[in-house]
């Protein structure tokens, strides 16, 4: 097991469940100090108690949809942890609805949470990383950030935005000894489908067979830790859905046909 995280401070958003929770556990096992962020104090406390070294952790509740709260809490974290080494932007929400039926506010909320809050946090920690001439920024994107699948227009758009932002940032901060890694998972067995936004912004509230049969959060977390320790700029994870990325690059018309057929088979449109 790599010692990359040993003694380093790592801030994880969306740490109360799913990939974020699994990352907190994996990094604690690797000797890192983890700062756990989400909205629910109670859920974060449960995650904290599951860590190998709960004494080497801290809870910071933030509502990432509340810009003033993000600013205030981020400044407090940076002031207290000037040696913060890594920020893992993991918080986010998916979507399952047709474009024609989706309210405009849903798109705004998805971009605010999945994109703008990440930009805001990243810009808060970046000056300190530049000053100490080291750091690692990780964004949990998605295969949906590489291609667009039916019923995920807002989610895919927000993840495409993340890809563009961090690709640009990587080229700008490399000479400051700051690594930037984009993680693009496919289907992961979490509550992402249950929590996905429907056309009116309410939670979908039901399982997605693809996610239910997907990778475990623990598997994904360990792969992310390995990739980070090796300084990988991008990691694409998944089963057969991973092939979509390569079809998009080399055979886009074939992918388009596959997605159209998928839409017709699953949604009747």
List the domains of the chain with CATH numbers.
9-241 (3.40.50.720)
- And the tokens for 58? 């801290």
Local structure of 140: helix, strand or coil? strand
Q: What residue has token string 């629910």?
A: 40
Count of Cβ atoms closer than 10 Å to residue 120 Cβ? 15
Q: 57-97, pLDDT tens digit by residue?
A: 999 999 999 989 999 999 999 999 999 999 999 999 999 99
Catalytic residue among 104, 155, 219, 267: 155
Query: Is position 267 annotated as part of the catalytic site?
Result: no
Report the percent of the chain where pLDDT is more than 90: 89
Lowest mean pLDDT, pick from 102-106, 173-177, 257-261: 257-261
Question: According to the model, what pLDDT value does residue 261 have?
Answer: 86
The alpha carbon torsion through 9, 180, 233, 229 (nearest 10 deg) reads -20
Report the percent of the chain where pLDDT is more than 70: 97
Count of Cβ atoms closer than 10 Å to residue 80 Cβ? 12
Question: According to the model, what pLDDT value does residue 265 have?
Answer: 67
Residue 245 clears pLDDT 70, i.e. is over it: yes
Local structure of 189: helix, strand or coil? coil
Mean pLDDT of 220-246: 96
Question: According to the model, what pLDDT value does residue 268 have?
Answer: 60
Sorted by sequence, the CB contacts under 8 Å of residue 10 that are 6+ apart come out as: 27, 32, 33, 34, 35, 85, 86, 87, 88
């Amino acid at each position: 097991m790599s010692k990359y995280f040993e003694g380093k401070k790592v801030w994880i958003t969306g740490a109360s469940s799913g990939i974020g929770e699994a990352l907190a556990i994996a990094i604690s096992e690797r000797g890192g100090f983890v700062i756990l962020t989400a909205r629910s104090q109670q859920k974060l406390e449960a995650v904290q108690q599951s860590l190998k070294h709960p004494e080497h952790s801290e809870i910071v509740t933030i509502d990432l949809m509340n810009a003033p709260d993000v600013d205030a809490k981020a400044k407090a974290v940076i002031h207290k942890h000037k040696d913060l080494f890594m920020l893992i932007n993991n918080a986010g929400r998916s979507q399952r609805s047709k474009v024609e039926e989706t309210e405009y506010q849903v798109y705004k909320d998805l971009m605010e949470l999945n994109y703008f809050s990440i930009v805001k946090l990243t810009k808060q920690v970046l000056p300190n990383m530049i000053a100490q001439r080291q750091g690692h920024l990780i964004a949990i994107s998605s295969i949906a950030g590489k291609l667009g699948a039916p019923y995920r227009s807002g989610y895919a758009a927000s993840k495409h935005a993340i890809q563009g932002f961090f690709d640009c940032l990587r080229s700008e901060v490399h000479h400051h000894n700051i690594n930037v890694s984009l993680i693009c998972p496919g289907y992961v067995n979490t509550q992402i489908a249950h929590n996905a936004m429907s056309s009116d912004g309410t939670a979908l509230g039901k399982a997605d067979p693809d996610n239910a049969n997907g990778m475990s959060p623990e598997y994904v977390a360990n792969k992310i830790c390995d990739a980070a320790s090796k300084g990988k700029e991008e990691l694409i994870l998944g089963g057969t859905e991973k092939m979509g990325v390569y079809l998009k690059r080399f055979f886009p018309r074939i992918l388009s046909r596959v997605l159209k057929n998928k839409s017709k088979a699953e949604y009747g449109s």
